[in-house]
A and B are shown apart, each in its own frame.
Chain A
């Protein structure tokens, strides 16, 4: 499967959190890949394990309580899970950079913007003070911060939420990484700023020809930017495919539910669908198909047997044997 074009490929990754007497299986065997210059989206409800997947790529799972229970993460042929801390540091920020969910708290309040962006550069690159400053200014300009020279000496609290997220993006871009992981970079921001940040990410990706792993719970955003989509539910992937397949030919009841709950012009005036029930507690997942308590198509077997991925061709897979046309459901 992994051809020359693959930048990172995650295989059967499992991340568990042990807290006292419970074991939360936050990520329970996911496999995906991101190719060069591609934008891949991870979609799923809150708490399904998206952030945990992203953090485990960078080796930032807090251990304990976290623990990588299995799998491989191949980045440019190397298994990141086997690297030691020092080699990992050379990859973080340099080859793989991350933009976090909470722009308001993700910048260190006691350092200036210049300190924080400059640090991101100087860890990995050997540059003089003068050039460092120029690069910071250029980065701030690239991410669309007005009057960057004055902003350098500001502290994070002097910036707005959108500006802080731009600074975070500037920090992520600092070393021209191959892959940027953007973990819901727009959730905490208001709608107009969201759109700006999305446009910014898209244009940067084009110009710098990077790969982006975009994490969100908003299918509307996915339609905007994704090349391929992975739908995540309770620590596993339920469906994957390219954007057109997911949006026009969804084969998994969960994806269908997500799409049905999306407001759109054709549905104006009708009541929006909402998936009944809630995401399972990762420490107490249902047996069989984890979606079955909320699934309108569930049959008795769904509560007993773990469903396999069913192939719909051209890379479109869905984890629901019941809806597999022409097939006979569970064997």
Chain B
């Protein structure tokens, strides 16, 4: 028998059966569906999202449906589902459901309305804070991972220090000296642009070469910054800054965001470093794609998975942190309700009015839990190494 003898199948017209073609999203959903806890998390998350948005509309405006700030001293500390005492209330004070769904607090304010208002706070704090930290993290990590081996020259560092101290001095009211520094820096920046454009024509004097030496690589610099940031105990740092700044929900979001980007930076950097080494990036590069295109079309989609997971869990952490700050009395100024300060106010009545502690406590627990479950489910699905083990 010889290999050259051909049978019926000369030009291989028999098709091999293929695994059914699925898009990445379908594949992802098929795996995700098996994790019942994660589905539960997703469901609660969507519910919470709707509640928060609805809450924003029905508790704000000039004449809200549920007024979280309406004080009815004669109706204080009513338990959940209690009927209001209609005789003692003015018409606009009667709760619109006809009863207090979650009771009232020590000032007779409707806890349900306050919870709705607080939901929006928790939601925005979670998303904005994590949005800030993810943006910073991706930027720093991407730069460290992709441009990491570029070096920063001594003069760059000197100029940056001058620039910052100039700006600092201007802010610290010694405007004249600061302005001199700023002008000097700007002049040098123009000068270096100018010389860069006609580089090599005139050699710099030898004493100036010291400034042209490369000092640290971008990667080292960024990772050192991360190390420095990690030295601060995070809750303590947040507490300090929030205490110094004027009380406002936006300050809290910004501060939480600014102090929690280090993890994302590390992920993205590690992912970029490993992606850089892979063939497809080299191939795209030889095709002449720009750095921008490589980063955003080819590397970002691969690096985004771990970021997504850490962001989901980051939202949970941010909500907890905000609740903790509210509990300690920082952050959102008083009439506005957050889950943390409802609980904080309620703790004085813990034996008389336990619902003031339990309702916000359990609400925070459930929302944070749902984010954590959803995040872990995402991690399991997105991490191919873990896939077989569950």
Q: B-contacting residues of A (Cβ < 8 Å)?
A: 19-21, 65, 250-251, 256-257, 260, 273, 276-278, 280-281, 283-287, 292-300, 302-303, 322-323
CB distance from A47 to the nearest CB of B (A): 14
Q: Which of B10, B18, B20, B388 makes the CB contact (< 8 A) with A296? A: B10
- Extra contacts, 16 of them, besides A280-B17, A299-B8, A302-B9 (Cβ < 8 A), are A20-B34, A251-B1, A260-B3, A273-B3, A276-B12, A280-B16, A284-B19, A286-B14, A293-B15, A295-B7, A297-B8, A298-B8, A298-B14, A302-B14, A303-B14, A322-B7
Which chain B residue lies CB-closest to A297?
B7
CB distance from A112 to the nearest CB of B (A): 29
The residue in B1, B6, B14, B18 that gathers the most chain A C-beta atoms within 10 A of its C-beta is B14
Residues of chain B from 2 to 50 with CB closer than 8 A to chain A in the complex: 3, 5-10, 12, 14-20, 30-31, 34
The residue in A256, A260, A278, A293 that gathers the most chain B C-beta atoms within 10 A of its C-beta is A293
CB distance from B107 to the nearest CB of A (A): 54
A322 contacts which chain B residues (CB < 8 A)? 7
**Bound form: Cα–Cα A67–B8 in Å:** 38
| Contact A294 to B30, CB < 8 A, known contacts A280-B17, A283-B19, A284-B18 | no
Q: A-contacting residues of B (Cβ < 8 Å)?
A: 1, 3, 5-10, 12, 14-20, 30-31, 34, 388
**Bound form: Cα–Cα A283–B20 in Å:** 10
A277 contacts which chain B residues (CB < 8 A)? 12, 16
B30 contacts which chain A residues (CB < 8 A)? 20-21
B10 contacts which chain A residues (CB < 8 A)? 296
**Bound form: Cα–Cα A297–B10 in Å:** 7
Contact B16–A298 (Cβ < 8 Å): no
Contact A298–B9 (Cβ < 8 Å): yes
The residue in B7, B10, B20 that gathers the most chain A C-beta atoms within 10 A of its C-beta is B7
CB distance from B251 to the nearest CB of A (A): 46
> Can you list 24 A-B pairs, Cβ within 8 angstroms, ordered by A?
A20-B30, A20-B34, A21-B30, A250-B1, A256-B1, A273-B3, A276-B12, A277-B12, A278-B16, A280-B17, A284-B18, A286-B14, A287-B17, A293-B12, A293-B16, A295-B7, A295-B9, A296-B6, A296-B10, A297-B5, A297-B6, A297-B9, A299-B9, A322-B7
Which chain B residue lies CB-closest to A322?
B7
**Bound form: Cα–Cα A295–B12 in Å:** 8
CB distance from B30 to the nearest CB of A (A): 6
A286 contacts which chain B residues (CB < 8 A)? 14, 16-17
CB distance from B284 to the nearest CB of A (A): 26
B3 contacts which chain A residues (CB < 8 A)? 256-257, 260, 273, 296
**Bound form: Cα–Cα A278–B18 in Å:** 11
B16 contacts which chain A residues (CB < 8 A)? 277-278, 280, 286, 293-294
Contact A292–B6 (Cβ < 8 Å): no
CB distance from A58 to the nearest CB of B (A): 20
Which chain A residue lies CB-closest to B6?
A296
A284 contacts which chain B residues (CB < 8 A)? 17-20
CB distance from B15 to the nearest CB of A (A): 7
**Bound form: Cα–Cα A180–B17 in Å:** 37
Q: Which of A20, A65, A285, A296 makes the CB contact (< 8 A) with B17? A: A285
The residue in B9, B17, B30 that gathers the most chain A C-beta atoms within 10 A of its C-beta is B9
**Bound form: Cα–Cα A294–B6 in Å:** 12
Q: Which of B1, B5, B7, B20 makes the CB contact (< 8 A) with A299? A: B7
**Bound form: Cα–Cα A287–B14 in Å:** 11
CB distance from A51 to the nearest CB of B (A): 15
**Bound form: Cα–Cα A297–B6 in Å:** 6
A292 contacts which chain B residues (CB < 8 A)? 9, 14
Contact A65–B19 (Cβ < 8 Å): no
**Bound form: Cα–Cα A280–B18 in Å:** 8
**Bound form: Cα–Cα A226–B91 in Å:** 98
B20 contacts which chain A residues (CB < 8 A)? 284
CB distance from A63 to the nearest CB of B (A): 12
**Bound form: Cα–Cα A178–B88 in Å:** 95
State the 9 A-B residue pairs at the shortest beta-carbon distance, nearest first. A297-B7, A298-B9, A293-B16, A299-B8, A293-B14, A260-B3, A284-B17, A284-B19, A281-B19
**Bound form: Cα–Cα A303–B7 in Å:** 14
A256 contacts which chain B residues (CB < 8 A)? 1, 3
A251 contacts which chain B residues (CB < 8 A)? 1
B6 contacts which chain A residues (CB < 8 A)? 296-297
A294 contacts which chain B residues (CB < 8 A)? 12, 16
Which chain A residue lies CB-closest to B387?
A19
| Contact A20 to B31, CB < 8 A, known contacts A292-B14, A293-B14 | yes
CB distance from B176 to the nearest CB of A (A): 64
The residue in A20, A287, A303 that gathers the most chain B C-beta atoms within 10 A of its C-beta is A20
Which chain B residue lies CB-closest to A21?
B30
CB distance from A93 to the nearest CB of B (A): 26
B1 contacts which chain A residues (CB < 8 A)? 250-251, 256, 323
**Bound form: Cα–Cα A100–B10 in Å:** 40
